[in-house]
Copies of this chain bind each other. A is one copy, B any other.
Amino acid sequence: MDARSLSASRRGLMHLHKVGTPPKQNLLREFTARVKETFFADDPLRPFKDQPRSRKLVLGIQAIFPIFEWGRSYNWKKFRGDLIAGLTIASLCIPQDIGYAKLAHLDPQFGLYSSFVPPLIYAFMGSSRDIAIGPVAVVSLLLGSMLSKEIDPYLKKAEYRRLAFTATFFAGITQAALGFLRLGFLIDFLSHAAIIGFMAGAAITIALQQLKGLLGIKNFTKETDIISVMHSVWGNVHHGWNWQTILIGVSFLSFLLVAKYIGKKNRKFFWVPAIAPLISVILSTFFVYITHAEKKGVQIVKDIEKGINPSSVNQIYFSGEYLLKGLKIGIVAGLIALTEAVAIGRTFASMKDYQIDGNKEMVALGAMNVVGSMTSCYVATGSFSRSAVNFMSGCETAVSNVIMSCVVFLTLEFITPLFKYTPNAILAAIIISAVAGLIDIPAAILVWKIDKFDFVACLGAFLGVVFKSVEIGLLIAVTVSFAKILLQVTRPRTAILGKVPRSNVYRNILQYPEAVKVPGILIVRVDCAIYFSNSNYVKERILRWLMDEEERVKAACQPTIQFLIVEMSPVTDIDTSGIHALEELHRSLEKKNIELILTNPGPVVMDKLEVSRFANLIGEDKIFLTVADAVSSCSPKQADEV
């Protein structure tokens, strides 16, 4: 009792240090605040605050079409940068597009279509200045493998194409919906580490697929996993391979890789790898044309349809069995495309230090794909390789995308016939050298160094993609990511605190070996919000710390434990189960007559301790602002004993 009264009087003196209970909020305010934090964390209406209506209208339009915002300050200097950048990425995208279209089992022109319309739409609605829009390897692969599971891309060309447009349409809808419903944060559930592994796996899978073109193999497996690919490669080694193709392919591949290497070595030669693909296309095409290598079994692109995107509105399946299939595929492809685009957007935004609104970005990408699906495009998004080139060649705004799409327009209108003799081997080589950039080994090593569990996600995604399929890889990535979150909330860390000498701060004795325990007092810190998922664990863990300490104390015949201080600074929230756990803890401590003392509970926790009467149960005067205060309040009783 004396201790209690004493500490009470003590509290009288230092009433300023009392733990504050926050001013009671009414339910509605609290609720809206929570919703705001969840869905409108970026406070999109900030600029609209106290503005005249007319201004609000302008701001609204600018919010939907950022071009009206940055367009007003656009000038020739910026245009020069955009022009150069636009031409560079155009030269890079044209051959890539043709290759990626093959990856999605579509005719070459659809790749080019997808580099014409979507970039234009994005230029008006997008908020990233550096992203380069168009078809990308991973999404093309994903789309190709998922679509071809439903319809055979070569026997039923028309249906396949229609399903592709349907998927693209729903991909767009998904993206726009996520953005519009402010659910952008959902894509954050795919961890960075998982993406690294997924990308690397996809890159390898894509490279393997290119062996078909590179070795000139005719009957190639439909599977994408490494085993069946290798099997069909070696199975064809004697009769399947075509040496002329291999010659062309390998020589140009090495040329491309050398160019890449030069670009990496010396930043100011970044344009070398950028234009290398176009050069090799031109050279090889010319070479095949004069030598008529196609007669010697070198496969060529053959005819690419001339002219710009035909409409495809009436080709989308809005009914029938394919509607649902398209929807399913669209959602998956849309989410992957989104993840890639947003990741790119954020990276470059933070390099040039401007904010991009994730949700607004999603609406832009969604709108772009919806329009795309109606103009014979398949899912387009931001491309890692081209965005990097765009950035390095000094783009200023999304205008570089417009330039690119103009070049693509001209290509479609006039020079597609020239691609007739382009050997597939070259496209294969170009794709291989492009996706090589998706394998980021240093990043993987860093992940391993920083967080082993992350690395498991990374490796799992990688192996899943390489040995099974893209979808399985994705599934693994997501599952592991979730498992990690659940583990985090189920098994929070706890720590024993000791006094850091010559200070009155108390810290984890494992981290600060010099910190010393206070005799007769056990100080435990709980490092997580106490929720139903961990409340029971937390309770039992604390009791186990206590048991261990009591054993140790008995062994060392030091004063017995009389006070258990639970440092709650990191406990940011608590729920019904948590309160129950505390009550049970208190009960079993009473049995051992050990006093339970809490320090520094946060506003939410304090509030809940009050309403649940737990504060009264242990006594208001048993809740302190700092561990130091709490300890000083125990010490006198200590003195009597020792």
Q: A residues bordering B, Cβ < 8 Å?
A: 16-17, 20-23, 27, 30-31, 37-38, 41-43, 185, 188-193, 346, 350-351, 353, 355, 358, 446-447, 449-454, 481, 484-493, 495, 500-503, 505, 507-508, 510-514, 527-529, 531-537, 540-541, 543-544, 569-570, 572-573, 575-577, 579-580, 584, 587-588, 591, 600, 602-604, 606, 608, 611-612, 625-626
- CB pair A191–B577 under 8 Å, yes or no, is yes
Q: Smallest Cβ distance from A171 to chain B, in angstroms?
A: 22
- A575 touching B493, Cβ below 8 Å: no
CA distance A580 to B350 in the complex (A): 11
| Choice from B451, B532, B608 contacting A575 with Cβ under 8 Å | B451
Q: Which of B16, B570, B591, B612 contacts A503 (CB 8 A)?
A: B16
> Are the C-beta atoms of A587 and B350 separated by less than 8 Å?
yes
Q: A185 contacts B537, CB within 8 Å?
A: yes
Residues of B within 8 A of A533 (CB): 188-189, 191, 481, 485
Tell me the nearest residue of chain B to A350, going by C-beta: B584
Residues of B within 8 A of A27 (CB): 452
Q: Are A603 and B508 in contact (CB under 8 A)?
A: yes
Residues A489 and B485 in contact, CB atoms below 8 Å apart:
yes
The chain B residue with its CB closest to the CB of A185 is B490
Whether the Cβ atoms of A446 and B576 lie closer than 8 Å is yes
Q: Which residues of B contact A591 (CB under 8 A)?
A: 353
Task: Report the copy number of this chain in the oligomer.
Answer: 2
Interface pair A572/B38, CB less than 8 Å apart: no
Q: Which residue of B lies closest to A38 (CB)?
A: B491
Question: CB within 8 A of A572: which of B492, B532, B611?
Answer: B492
6 interchain pairs (CB within 8 A)? A16-B503, A20-B507, A189-B490, A193-B576, A350-B584, A451-B575
> Looking across the interface, which residue of chain B has its beta carbon closest to that of A571?
B570
Distance between A536 CB and nearest chain B CB, rounded to angstroms: 6
| A192-B507 in contact (CB<8A) | no
Question: A625, B527: Cβ atoms under 8 Å?
Answer: no
Once the chains bind, are A626 and B505 in contact (CB under 8 Å)? yes
Contact indicator B531/A43 (Cβ below 8 Å): no
Q: How far is the CB of A539 from chain B (nearest CB, A)?
A: 9
Are A17 and B350 in contact, with the CB atoms below 8 A?
no
Given A485-B486, A489-B488, A527-B602, is A505 in contact with B625 using a C-beta cutoff of 8 Å?
A: yes
Q: A42-B544, A602-B508 are in contact. Are A612 and B450 (CB under 8 A)?
A: yes
Given contacts A22-B510, A490-B185, A533-B189, contact A612 B572 (CB under 8 A): no
Beyond A588-B350, A606-B511, is A534–B188 a contact (Cβ under 8 Å)? yes
Q: In the complex where A531-B488, A603-B510 touch, is A569 in contact with B569 (Cβ < 8 A)? A: yes
B612 A188 Cβ-Cβ under 8 A:
no
In angstroms, Cα B606 to Cα A584, docked, is 34
Pairs of residues from A and B, 7 with the lowest C-beta to C-beta distance, nearest first: A191-B532, A570-B570, A527-B572, A192-B577, A511-B603, A350-B584, A20-B511
Q: How close is A265's CB to chain B, nearest CB, in angstroms?
A: 23
Query: In the complex the two chains form, is A449's CB within 8 Å of B611's CB?
Result: yes
